Amino acid sequence: MARMFIVNKSLKISSIPAAICILSFFTLCACAQMAEHFRNEAFLMEWKKIENSTVLLNNEDELVPIKDLIPLSIASVNIGSAYATEFDSILNKYTRVKSFASALYNHDMLSFNDLNDDLKFFNTIIVQVTDQSLNDPRTIPLLLDLQLNKSLIISLSGEAGSLKLLDPLHSAIIWSEKKSAISANFAAQLVFGGVSANTRLNQEISARYASGSGFSTIPIRLKYSVPEEVGINSADLKRIDDIAEEAIRQRATPSAVVLVVKDGRIIFNKAYGTRTYIDRTPTRITDIYDLASVTKISATTMAVMRLFEQGKLKLDTNVGAYIPRSRNTNKKDISVRDVMLHQAGFIPFIPFFRNLSDTDYSRDSSGIHPLKVADNYYLRKDYFKQVMWPLMLNSSLSNQGKYVYSDLSMYFMKDMVERQSEKPMETYVMNQFYTPLGMSRAGFNPRLRFPKEEIIPTEDDREFRKTLLEGYVHDQGAAMVGGVSGHAGLFSSANDLAILYQMILNGGTYGGTQYFKPETVNMFTAKQSAISRRGLGFDRWDEESTKGYPSKLASPLTFGHTGYTGTCVWVDPKYNLVYVFLSNRVNPGVTSKLIDLNIRGRIQDVIYEAIGK
């Protein structure tokens, strides 16, 4: 963490040594930033060499890039490569891939038969091999056995002559002569279409393969790169570190993750701080955060867009047409459009947890109290149906036709989504979006799928659940409906959000699949209200903000949302930009410092300034 220095303007001669130290410090910082820039430039030069020399062979069946992820269970097997960590790390940015390391080359590890047993539940195998490891007499028999009933992709590095050993196989082959971390990185991105393959074959390869047997591909997913590739000097992004560290130093949040996508390339992704002020485990870029109200656009609005396109949910139809229980209430004639625009007249929220009696909850689960709200906290059966839902249906309306931001709006939208899709919303968005997109760390109720060590804790809840919230939604109302609500409850890593919003930025297409029509994306994300800045579900750039919202440099096309836990996602089509900020600013208790210091907006300003240089 950078130290703070104050320079006395009336510097005396006796202070010169101190001044020299200060100047030396800043000189060292500048040199470090320049060094990173030169490293990135060198990386790009080496990357270009790898890109021009790597070839894709035997791809008649178009296994590469992998497109449809839904039916796939994917394993990565390393046989002799020194760069499996880099390779597997990149693979797992695109979807969940199980790694098996050097099984054939360590006799104290898995045997040949053990490896085959472990791979029986996978239908797609990606094998990383080298020219030396292909010469092991066990390797080719293993590959032949795997290709009998599985899709097999081979990433080979080393001398071109080793390709002849793969003649008995009909699997797709990614070949690079170079053995390096950059080569492994490129091959892994090529598998999922983050980068493209070219058809150029060197003389030795051409002699063995018929003309045209090298295959070309086009990018279909995010690329993982460095700022210099899109014309940004990495030194100009250094201020992101300073602002994030300021947030932690000022105890605005114990942790944060910042991610930037420019022109379809993730050029910045860093983690800051520690899980909490007590748990000093460093934050990781893969950590899962409670998104709070970013749920509204990342789950509920996505579902509404899909149902709208299918003609199952119409914006100008009233709520009573979709929710029978609303027909005898003051909600029946409100249009879906007004609900999505937060101008239905709903009250902002209802503090449901304050109405709980001693018989409504228990510290142990039972048939009477089956709904888990947090560790050692269980709510009685049907509490939502019997208490919460009637309170919302019969709540008062005020300021109808005016903009009043309300969590109640998305409770109603969730009910409509579930009725029209005939699926629980968590299942619907998982099957329709997260799984096919490769968002392996996004979803509701993450404790059902991940250890709590991979989920960043939020508030140490002293008022309601009396425990530190680790993987249970911070929002009290969302927790009381089982962790799945239209306004809160979604958890995700920064990388998964980047995938989702790159799809939106692409006009609804990602990974070779069209999720939305471009006109649907444009309609929902554009300004749709005559009385507010809002789109349909989406928050937007505010022309009336004196400080600039979400950033003083954002374009009027910008859309996204913030979350109460200290999160935000903003997409700016003018700059082909996605910005993700995740934090747990409510730990150990709620503080406004993240907002007061304008941490999210200032970081966003730095990104625009770097683009503009």
Residues 296 and 194 occupy one common structural domain:
no
Instruction: Give a yes or no: residue 95 inside a domain.
Output: yes
Residues 311 and 445 occupy one common structural domain:
yes
Q: Is the peptide bond before 137 cis (omega within 30 degrees of 0)?
A: no
606: nearest Cα among 254, 234, 251, 229: 234
Give the span between the Cα atoms of 280 and 162, in whole angstroms: 48
Instruction: Give a yes or no: residue 291 inside a domain.
Output: yes
Instruction: Give a yes or no: residue 597 inside a domain.
Output: yes
Residues 27 and 173 occupy one common structural domain:
no
Residues 23 and 120 occupy one common structural domain:
no
Cβ atoms of 518 and 322 within 8 Å: the answer is: no
Tell me, what's the pLDDT at 41?
Answer: 95
35-55 pLDDT tens trace: 899 899 999 999 999 999 999
Domain span at residue 170? 54-221
Instruction: Give a yes or no: residue 4 inside a domain.
Output: no
Residues 593 and 468 occupy one common structural domain:
yes
| Helical packing angle, 301-309 and 518-525, nearest 10° | 130
Residues 519 and 550 occupy one common structural domain:
yes
CATH for 404: 3.40.710.10
Instruction: Give a yes or no: residue 10 inside a domain.
Output: no
Range in 5-14, 55-64, 245-254 with the lowest mean pLDDT:
5-14
Give the span between the Cα atoms of 180 and 364, in whole angstroms: 54
Instruction: Give a yes or no: residue 8 inside a domain.
Output: no
Cβ atoms of 172 and 56 within 8 Å: the answer is: yes
Q: Which residues of 441-458 are buried (b: 16+ CB within 10 A; e: fewer)?
A: bbbbbbbeeeeeebbbbb
Residues 86 and 156 occupy one common structural domain:
yes
- Residue 275: CB atoms within 10 A of its CB come to 21
Give the span between the Cα atoms of 435 and 429, in whole angstroms: 9
User: What average pLDDT is seen over the chain?
Assistant: 92
Instruction: Give a yes or no: residue 227 inside a domain.
Output: no
Judging by DSSP bridges, how do beta strands 172-176 and 124-130 pair with one another? unpaired
235-292 pLDDT tens trace: 999 999 999 999 999 999 999 999 999 999 999 999 999 999 999 999 999 999 999 9
Residues 163 and 311 occupy one common structural domain:
no
Range in 20-29, 275-284, 291-300, 460-469 with the lowest mean pLDDT:
20-29
Residues 343 and 443 occupy one common structural domain:
yes
pTM: 0.93
Three-state SS annotation for 417-451? HHHHHCCCHHHHHHHHHHHHHCCCCCEECHHHCCC
Comparing 33 with 527, the larger pLDDT belongs to: 527
Instruction: Give a yes or no: residue 113 inside a domain.
Output: yes
Give the span between the Cα atoms of 437 and 422, in whole angstroms: 22
Tell me, what's the pLDDT at 213?
Answer: 73
Residues 31 and 152 occupy one common structural domain:
no
Residues 62 and 210 occupy one common structural domain:
yes
The structural domain count of the chain equals 3
Tell me, what's the pLDDT at 26?
Answer: 54
Residues 30 and 140 occupy one common structural domain:
no
337-377 pLDDT tens trace: 999 999 999 999 999 999 999 999 999 999 999 999 999 99
Tell me, what's the pLDDT at 2?
Answer: 39
- Residue 234's SS3 state is helix
Rounded percentage of the chain residues whose pLDDT exceeds 90: 86
